[in-house]
Chains A and B, each alone.
Chain A
Amino acid sequence: MSSKVTNRIALSLIVLCAIIMAGILAALLGYILVNGVTSISWHFLTSESDPFLAGGGIKDQLWNSFYVLIITMILTVPIGTSGGIYLAEYAKPGKLTSFIRSCVEVLASLPSIVVGMFGMLIFVNYFQFRFSVLSGALALTVFNLPVIVRVTEDGFHSLSSHQKEGGLALGLTHWHTIKTILLPAAFPSILTGIILSAGRVFGESAALLFTAGMSTPNLNFTNWNPASPTSPLNMFRSAETLSVHIWAVNTSGIIPDIQTVANGSAAVLVICVLLFNLLARGLGKVINNKLSGKS
């Protein structure tokens, strides 16, 4: 076979691979949205799930997903950005730094179910938080920290050194420089990363199975007192999130309309993740333009 023919064949195979990848996305999204969107209705989104009968909705699960996400982000963002700032600005090359770097790497590559088991051991059993929003959020914090750390570190590394030198030359302390000059400049890229990680947290299920639990008590959406056991804001109640719901309905559900509920929930989940994706891109661009004065 001449080298030209081989070239043709190989290149077309490579193009085929790219087409397969695009095809997978189209098929996945198409399948989920076509099958799921028909079961999404106002009723589906705003009624409680029914453990036995058909026609249940996903109101509680949807709320739980967002609530757990918000608590996770409140915990992760300050710790993660500080960790990233440490690695980008303060870390001196040495054993300790490389150890912290390895720790971030290990955290990032641990299976999420291992994080879930750890959460069950520590937060659920040892600290006696039981299956709760708080346990789930803490487990997800462990799961999400390395992502935010990396995003922050990358954001700081992509800044030009003039900005830092300018701040230091004015006699500011290192921390003052970071807080008032570097952090605002790195903010757009960090924010993009945070929103993308929010999408990941939103869809996470294995880490929540043993920490946030697989059931939700009856919630009373007119009761906003966080200490009340039926309040949606209560952090110490169990909370089944949307992605856990999809799994639970499929593996142990006994309702007759499993398909409808699962497809509808999956569609809502995918739409939310896509929205996070779009938001991250859009917001990053808008803030970047504003900061660089292009408006």
Chain B
Amino acid sequence: MKIDKAVIAQTPESSPKSSLLREKGLMKGFIDHYSETRGKTIIYSSALLMIIAVVAITLFLTVQGLRSFFVDHINFWSFITGTKWSLDQTNGASYGAFPFIFGSLSVTLLAAVFATPVAVGCALFMAEIAKKWGQRVLQPIIEILVGIPSVVYGLIGLSVIVPFMRVHFGGSGFNLLAGSLVVGIMILPTVASIAADSLRAVPDSLREASFAIGGTKWQTIWRVVIPAAGSSIVTAIILGMSRAFGEALAVQMVIGNTFQMPHSIFAPAATLTTVITGSMGDTTTGSVSNDVLWSLGLILLVISYIFILIIRMLAKRRNA
């Protein structure tokens, strides 16, 4: 047996006896349009590029974001928990990012609170009540809403929601609630379409069993379909929240952008993203004021990663 194997290994696989370099070996792999080597090179380098992109983003933003702690010696703890933010170098600068972290998280949560009931209701309508025409009418509506650029949502917020707030709740009209509403409307279609997909994945046999024991449509939805699709719906909401969390310009246009801690939802506020967009242009690269903005970016990145981890964990639990 051993000898046989050795013989087979030595026999060349019916290769033409040509001495031309391009007809065999490494060169051929790249010249022939249909060769496997050439294809694999293209394909694998693209896949590699994706890894490089993610690693580079994480690495460079982390290094740049840590500068303010290691080069400028700002205390990390007081940066996270401090409530006073001032980039004015002459009157004693102060870097407390807590109001923005708080602003970002409250905008995200409020947006989810606004969007979830309507989005889930919409998904139920598409997946449970009007399966055929609900799908045909609402699906395009949702797709168009997803496609509308975020600045347009911001512009609408600025010209409709802000004046409305000003008239009914006083103040300038630029406040936390306006920001949350704009983002809430923005994430509505995303949440609805993912929730609808997860509701459709619930097998019909469950619904039929519920109807068979005399359950009404609502009882079936509430007691059978929603629990069965539960963790997918939660995933949809968290995906929406991560989108709300990262939204920059739409929020920036309506939230008011003060550096103070908001004392109510009718007070102007700021989020991590709005501070970065608002101040980045006014600072010079390498200065302390610029470094702290990159640190805010790092916090943004870290919280985005936390969202991604939560989504992955939910997906894993679902599959297990």
Contacts and interface: CB of A to CB of B under 8 A. Distances in A.
A166 to B, nearest CB: 16
Interface in B104-163: 117-122, 124-126, 128-130, 134, 137-138, 141-145, 147-156, 158-160
Given A7-B216, A7-B217, A111-B246, A175 B40 contact: yes
B197 to A, nearest CB: 13
Contact of B40 (A78, A90, A145, A243): A90
Contact of B125 (A15, A89, A106): A15
A103 B51 contact: yes
B152 A32 contact: yes
Contacts of A125: 285
B21 interface: no
B234 interface: no
B247 interface: yes
B147 A205 contact: no
Q: Report whether over half of chain A's contact residues are helix, strand or loop; otherwise say mixed.
A: helix
Nearest to B153: A28
B308 A111 contact: no
A264 B34 CA distance: 50
Contact of B49 (A79, A99, A115): A79
Contacts, number: 256
B124 A24 contact: no
Interface in B71-103: none
B53 interface: yes
A68 to B, nearest CB: 14
B314 to A, nearest CB: 13
Contacts of B154: 247, 250
Contacts of A277: 143-144, 147
B53 A121 contact: no
Interface stretch (B10-18, B202-210, B272-280): B272-280
B38 A118 contact: no
A192 to B, nearest CB: 11
Nearest to B123: A17
Contacts of A270: 148-149, 152
Contact of A203 (B53, B149, B239, B301): B149
B35 interface: yes
B43 A82 contact: yes
Contacts of A62: none
Interface stretch (B165-173, B248-256, B262-270): B248-256
B227 interface: no
Most buried by B among A99, A111, A175: A111
A187 B245 CA distance: 35
A269 interface: yes
B150 A22 contact: no
A174 interface: yes
Nearest to B222: A10
A243 B149 contact: yes
Interface string B32-66: 01111011101111110111011011001100100
A20 interface: yes
- Greatest chain A CB density within 10 A among B137, B138, B148, B311 is at B148
Given A21-B145, A173-B35, A203-B149, 17 more contacts: A7-B217, A10-B222, A14-B124, A18-B121, A20-B121, A28-B153, A103-B54, A104-B50, A105-B308, A110-B57, A120-B280, A121-B60, A121-B64, A243-B151, A247-B154, A247-B252, A274-B147
